[in-house]
Amino acid sequence: MDRILAALGLTRDSAVAIGDSENDIDIVSAAGLGVAMGNACEALKAAAKVVTGNVGRGGIAAVLKNYLLSGAV
């Protein structure tokens, strides 16, 4: 993540990471907006700043609408 952000001239604060399992904890924790899906493991939910709905029930769309399209991030 850091290499991609640096190449784009961005910081972690401007990054959004969305995950659903333990292997996502590091990137979700590092992002300015770390999101766990509703069906994520409990460890990821605890590490995330936001928990959204399940992946099959519009969880990603809700994050896009509530945080990215609204300008909150």
Confidence of residue 71 (pLDDT cuts 50, 70, 90): low
The pLDDT of residue 3:
93
Instruction: Give me the domain span that covers residue 35.
Output: 2-68
- For the chain, the first-to-last Cα distance in angstroms comes to 17
**CA-CA distances (angstroms) from residue 44 to 10, 28, 65?**
24, 8, 22
Question: Is the residue at 37 inside a domain?
Answer: yes
- pLDDT tens digits for range 22-51: 999 999 999 999 999 999 999 999 999 999
Question: Residue 60 belongs to a domain with what CATH number?
Answer: 3.40.50.1000
Q: Within a 13 Å sphere around the CA of 39, how many CA atoms are in the beta-carbon half?
A: 7
Tell me how far apart the alpha carbons of residues 31 and 15 are, in angstroms, rounded to a whole number. 5
